[in-house]
Amino acid sequence: MDLLQAAAPLLAPVFTLVGTPVSRAELLGTLLALAMVVLNMRVHPAAWPLAIASSLLYALLFASSKLYGEAALQLFFVGMAAWGWWCWLRGTGQDGTPLRVHRLSAAQRWRIAAATLLAWPALAGLLISATDSTTPWLDALPTVGSIAGTLLLGRKALENWPVWVAVNLISVVLFASKALWLTTALYGLFALMAMAGWRAWLQLERRDALA
């Protein structure tokens, strides 16, 4: 790909980890993603521009590893990050008040779960038919889960965090299968941070409910 050739300096290794080279894109993407999650836990809108930069770096990394579902997801994240940034700065809830941390209704949770489960085989089939992906099913599952998680995060829904816990744990298996060890470790850490974020947002939601 011409784009991958142009991005060769970013994809060049800077050190090795467990015998596998780690590129500049993976290293920078990791650092930006960690800062992004910390800011998300604090409900700080500066998380979103960091998400844009990190997603662009990971799109290059995943495309070079033939993880096309994950690469396309990162480009989706760029657009979603712009939307999430706007929501956190200007968005409102159903009552017209500024957007705040809240819970979904039971019906909303079921709709999100059903849409995600239906999208999974659809995306896997697309990867099988249209790409040379070596892990289409394992690639597709965290991809559709991440879309759900991003939508929920942008609307400050508390349920985004359990979704991210599941997505991150599945991603650990996916990236380990590609020997992307720094990214594997990062997503393991993300799973722990998502649990901490879930707890922090629970406290915010309870505090706001009493206000």
Can you tell me the distance from the alpha carbon of 180 to that of 192, in angstroms, rounded to the nearest whole number? 19
Give, in order, the Cα–Cα distances in Å from 181 to each of 56, 136, 153, 184, 206: 19, 20, 27, 5, 38
- H or E element at residue 15: strand 13-17
**Location of structure tokens 């290794």:** 13
- What token pair was written down for 33? 């993603």
Q: Quick one: pLDDT at residue 144?
A: 92
CA distance 47 to 44: 6
Q: Which of 180, 75, 65, 181 is nearest to 131 (CA)?
A: 65
The per-residue pLDDT string of the chain (211 residues; one tens digit each, 9 = 90 and over) reads 566 666 677 878 888 877 778 888 888 998 999 999 999 999 999 999 999 999 999 888 888 877 777 788 788 889 999 999 999 999 888 778 888 899 999 999 999 999 999 999 999 999 899 888 888 899 899 989 998 999 999 999 999 999 999 999 999 999 898 888 878 888 999 999 999 999 999 998 888 766 6
The residue type of 47 is: A
Which are the contacts of 56, defined by CB distance < 8 A and separation ≥ 6? 74, 78
